[in-house]
């Protein structure tokens, strides 16, 4: 049998073959993929936004796997010491600048956090003084949040009339214990820059 005859025979067999319904399928369109993760790199540090824990890394900074810059250690620190009137949790305007400076410090040192410690003088009931000391710390916390500090970075502790300074029962001693204090130590310093083959060596 030559090739032409074989081709004609094969074509006849195929044409006569029965077709089954199960061999026919409805057309299914290719599904459109849903992009959940943000694959952009807004600060151009090589870490996509979805994984970047430090989205504002300075350009050229050496970063870790989370997109956070490597910092040179520093001993910079900021103190907070705010006094209150008797039986009051209202912050006097003279202390607002101190809170604002603390907020700037916390923004400059994003890896730090702050614990606000509230106190009260030994006047009145201990349980009332405990609640008052917490309200004072909460008042300072609200001001820090108003200046853009994230709530997760601020904790408050009320000590009431415990751990007070001085043992003399006079108004001057009592006034010094109506306070909120805090100390934050920053370990940022300056951002360590990434080294590449194009990095210039500074002139010695």
Q: Taking a C-beta distance cutoff of 8 angstroms, is the pair 48, 39 a contact?
A: yes
pLDDT at 156: 93
Burial class (CB in 10 A: 0-12, 13-18, 19+), 41: middle
Owner of token pair 């710390």: 137
Query: Based on the domain organization, do 54 and 92 belong to the same domain?
Result: no
Q: Cβ(164)–Cβ(158) under 8 Å?
A: no
Question: What pLDDT shows up at residue 40?
Answer: 80
Q: What is the DSSP string of 100-116?
A: HHHHHHHHH-TT--EEE
CB of 102 closer than 8 Å to CB of 78: yes
Cβ pair 154, 145 in contact under 8 A:
yes
Whether residue 150 sits in one domain with residue 58 = no
Same domain membership, residue 151 and residue 119: yes
Report the greatest alpha carbon distance in the chain.
124
Residues 116, 60 share a domain: no
CATH classification at residue 145: 3.30.1330.60
Question: Do 109 and 142 belong together in one domain?
Answer: yes
- CA dihedral 73→74→75→79, nearest 10 degrees, is -120
Rounded Cα gap, residues 182 and 187, in angstroms: 17
pLDDT of residue 22: 58
> How many folded domains does the chain comprise?
2
Mean pLDDT by 10 residues, the chain (204 residues): 56 55 71 74 74 68 67 67 95 95 86 90 92 96 95 92 74 89 69 46 50
pLDDT of the residue at 134: 97
What's the pLDDT score for residue 66?
72
Contact 117, 155 (CB under 8 A): no
For 167, the token pair is 């043992």
- Predicted pLDDT of residue 157: 93
Same domain (yes/no): 167, 105? yes
Residues 53 and 141 occupy one common structural domain: no
What is the domain range of residue 53?
Answer: 37-70
Cα 55 versus chain centre, distance: 10
Q: Residue 131, exposed/middle/buried by CB under 10 A (0-12, 13-18, 19+)?
A: middle
Q: pTM for the whole thing?
A: 0.58
Same domain, 66 and 83: no
Is 32 inside any structural domain?
A: no
């Amino acid at each position: 049998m030559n090739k032409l005859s074989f081709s004609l025979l094969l074509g006849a067999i195929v044409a006569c073959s029965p077709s089954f319904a199960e061999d026919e399928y409805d057309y299914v369109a290719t599904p459109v993929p849903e992009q959940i993760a943000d694959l952009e790199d807004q600060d151009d540090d090589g870490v996509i936004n979805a994984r970047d824990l430090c989205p504002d890394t300075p350009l050229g900074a050496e970063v870790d796997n989370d997109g956070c810059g490597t910092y040179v250690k520093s001993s910079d620190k900021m103190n907070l010491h705010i006094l209150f009137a008797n039986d009051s949790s209202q912050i006097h305007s003279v202390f607002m600048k101190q809170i604002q400076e603390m907020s700037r410090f916390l923004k400059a040192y994003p890896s730090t956090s702050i614990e606000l410690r509230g106190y009260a003088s030994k006047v009145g009931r201990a349980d009332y003084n405990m609640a008052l000391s917490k309200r004072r710390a909460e008042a300072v916390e609200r001001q820090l949040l108003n200046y853009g500090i994230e709530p997760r970075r601020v904790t408050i502790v009320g000590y009431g009339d415990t751990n007070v300074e001085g043992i003399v029962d006079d108004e001057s001693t009592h006034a010094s214990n109506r306070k909120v204090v805090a100390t934050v130590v920053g370990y940022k310093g300056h951002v360590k820059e990434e080294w590449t083959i194009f990095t210039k060596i500074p002139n010695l």
